[in-house]
Amino acid sequence: MTHSEKHESSRPQAGDSSIHQDFSKEMSYGDYLQLDKILNSQTRLSGHHDEMLFIIIHQASELWMKLILHELEAARSVILQNQLDAAFKMLARVSKIQQQLIQSWDVLSTLTPAEYMEFRSSLGRSSGFQSYQNRLIEFMLGNKQTKVLAVYEHEPELFAQLNEALHAPSLYDASIQALSMRGIEVDPACLQRDWSQEYQENDSVRAAWLTVYQDVERYWDLYELAEKLVDIDSRQQQWRFNHMTTVERVIGFKTGTGGSSGVDYLKRVVAQRYFPELWSLRTVL
């Protein structure tokens, strides 16, 4: 018997009695994943072939964002409890998910301008700018913008969820708290502040992180936390850059469907840093 024949014979056969086949009273794979809901949620408003690509890319991205939020919320919670080790796996997973989102732009960029124009009008005023999960991620990473809540006023429950997230400490706020809990001096204004306001770079926080980087052996867990944050910040910038270049490739400098300035807006935010001291300390280290 050849190697391939042995391999083939080891596979379960269609009539193999060990394979469960009757799911009339039991949960199947499709039942567990609720595939009937997921796979019937792609409704092309234009009927154009390439609209399917556009819908699936964005739906898949929202699922990945849901998992990012799941991990970030858990990580923030354990960091605030000074359990840094528990956060590392969660934050590492976020970085891997971000990589999936970054690569998704490569797939969307196969959509040509001529193809997109065939169904763009079907989108109405809907826009990725309105993604509430992306907004929750921005809030979690510290990019607090009160004015954007107006977009969600027509959905009271969603508005309340976003408003709560706006007023909660960010992942970085929690990390700064961790510095203080370890006895490293931090400006009290950074520890007790209005969390709804966007974080501003602080000399004492830079000095605190510098202390960590200059004594890695003593502060290994804080050092590991810092590098996990830099990973997330870096990948978020890559995601924004790929977003910008994909939009420019497909629609040029047209105004976005939601009324934003499109590429011009994306270019303004692409260089934003969420954890500024972790970048600026590298110059003085």
116 is in an annotated binding site: yes
The confidence score (pLDDT) of residue 128 equals: 80
For residues 145 and 243, give the distance between their C-alpha atoms in angstroms, rounded to a whole number. Answer: 20
What contacts 229, CB < 8 A, 6 or more positions away?
Answer: 91, 171, 172, 175, 274, 275, 278
247 touches 269 (CB < 8 A): no
Whether 55 has a binding-site annotation, put simply, is yes
Q: What is the DSSP letter of 39?
A: T
CA end-to-end span of the chain, whole Å? Answer: 64
To the question of whether residue 7 is assigned a binding role by annotation, the answer is no
120 marked as binding residue: yes
Residue 21 pLDDT: 84
Residue 38 marked as a ligand binder: no
- For residue 45, give both structure tokens: 């408003």
> Any binding-site annotation on 135?
no
Look at residue 37 in the predicted model and tell me its pLDDT: 97
Q: Are 230 and 97 in contact (CB under 8 A)?
A: no
The answer to whether the annotation marks 159 as part of a ligand binding site is no
Q: Has 54 been labeled as part of a binding site? A: yes
Question: Annotation-wise, does 110 bind a ligand?
Answer: no
What is d(CA 252, CA 221) in angstroms, rounded to the nearest whole number?
45
Given a contact cutoff of 8 angstroms between Cβ atoms, the answer to whether 48 and 78 are in contact is no
What would the two tokens of residue 96 be? 């891997």
Distances (CA, A) of 246 to 105, 249, 251, 260, 262: 7, 5, 9, 16, 11
Contacts of 166 (CB under 8 A, 6+ apart): 139, 144, 146, 149, 195, 196
Half-sphere exposure of 20 (CA within 13 A, CB side): 8
Nearest alpha-carbon partner for 205 in 229, 223, 230, 188: 188
> Looking at residue 24, what is its pLDDT?
85
pTM of the model: 0.89
Residue 229 · residue 92 · CB < 8 Å: no
Per-position pLDDT tens, the chain of length 285: 566 555 555 555 555 678 888 888 899 999 999 999 999 999 999 999 999 999 999 999 999 999 999 999 999 999 999 999 999 999 999 999 999 999 999 999 999 999 999 999 999 888 888 899 999 999 999 999 999 999 999 999 999 999 999 999 999 999 999 999 999 999 999 999 999 999 999 999 999 999 999 999 999 999 999 999 999 999 999 999 998 899 888 878 677 666 665 677 777 778 789 999 999 999 998
| DSSP annotation string for 71-124 | HHHHHHHHHHTT-HHHHHHHHHHHHHHHHHHHHHHHHHTTS-HHHHHTTGGGGT
